[in-house]
Amino acid sequence: MASSHTVLMRLVASAYSIAQKAGAIVRRVIAEGDLGIVQKTSATDLQTKADRLVQVSICSSLSRKFPKLTIIGEEDLPSGEVDPELIEDGQWEEVLKQPCPSQYRTIKEEDLVVWVDPLDGTKEYTEGLLDNVTVLIGIAYEGKAIAGIINQPYYNYEAGPDALLGRTIWGVLGLGAFGFQLKEAPVGKHIITTTRSHSNKLVTDCISAMNPDDVLRVGGAGNKIIQLIEGKASAYVFASPGCKKWDTCAPEVILHAVGGKLTDIHGNALQYDKDVKHMNSAGVLATLRNYDYYASRVPESVKSALIP
């Protein structure tokens, strides 16, 4: 029998369950004690066993259920049989209780592009900064990020043994974002969140020009967007290449679904078509409120160094 739910909502419901399984894999790899760290392009560009297993888990689980999707993930997929233990077949019923926004009701599977970051904040994961880590599944249609799922496997890990470990945040444009308490950053203060592992002179020049009251240096694009929606930071500023489309797709949706804005450092919207360049070459600027203040402060010297 054909499902009464739209393709988009079924995909989001499945991706929610798949992201939860991914979070469990991320925790299991730490518990087993062998991270299997590999250097990719540099000493700050790492991959662990968790990145590899979660990449397989998410991509295989999604493509079994939705074979016509275009899926673009950060890590290479090994050839050969997939361990059945890595496949998640569930769908989160709470998602299916929500209505699909009318503009997305006729979307077909083959029209969607899914951007997967199996583990965002790998450098911090290897250093034990566990709540910096997220799993990101972003969904794009006609080049625009429209739905996203963020699992934070170690949410609450310092809150004591009785606290529930891990959470999943999800959202769809035109519907809203769920799984967290929206809070604005202190009014009148400029609290900037930025990279801790990939800084350089452009990054610091741009932040200085914004007269920050405080600068939070933390790992992960997903983690920094969570700081914006939970009122811990007022702007995410990263004036450098390095961040990729799989880093920004899901976080951008969550932020946009609650009225925020994410662009490159010039103010251009990011594009998520399947053929787009993976690198966000012109950096990232994101806020929940007060975007124009931060955009107006980006120095011309920084802009001219970052070509989209």
Concatenating the DSSP letter of every residue in 80-147 gives: SPPPGGG------HHHHTSPPPGGGTT--GGGEEEEEEEEE-HHHHHTT-GGG-EEEEEEEETTEEEE
Q: Shortest CA distance to 82 belongs to which of 59, 49, 56?
A: 56
51 binds ligand AMP (CB under 6 A): no
Amino acid letter, 20 = Q
Amino acid letter, 214 = D
Given 122, 193, 195, 263, the catalytic residue: 122
Please, what is the angle between helix 49-65 and helix 7-32, to 10°? 150
35 belongs to an annotated ligand binding site: no
Using the rule CB under 6 A, give the single segment among 12-20, 160-168, 193-201, 252-260 that binds ligand AMP. 193-201
Q: Min. distance of Cβ 289 from ligand AMP in angstroms?
A: 21
Q: Where are the alpha helices (DSSP H) in 35-180?
A: 49-65, 93-96, 122-126
- Our answer to whether residue 134 is catalytic in this structure is no
117 belongs to an annotated ligand binding site: yes
Positions 58 through 77 that interact with Mg ion (CB under 5 A) = 74
- Our answer to whether residue 131 is catalytic in this structure is no
| 60: CB partners within 8 A, 6+ apart | 82, 86, 87
Using the rule CB under 6 A, give the single segment among 23-31, 207-215, 216-224, 261-269 that binds ligand AMP. 216-224
Binding mask 82-121 for ligand AMP (x = CB under 6 A): --------------------------------------xx
Positions 114 through 143 that interact with Mg ion (CB under 5 A) = 117, 119-120
247 binds Mg ion (CB under 5 A): yes
Task: Note whether 155 and 131 are within 8 A (CB).
Answer: yes
Residue numbers at the binding site for ligand AMP (CB under 6 A): 45, 120-121, 195, 197-198, 219-221, 242-243, 247
Q: Which residue positions form the known binding site?
A: 74, 117, 119-120, 247
Q: Which residue positions form the known binding site for Mg(2+)?
A: 74, 117, 119-120, 247
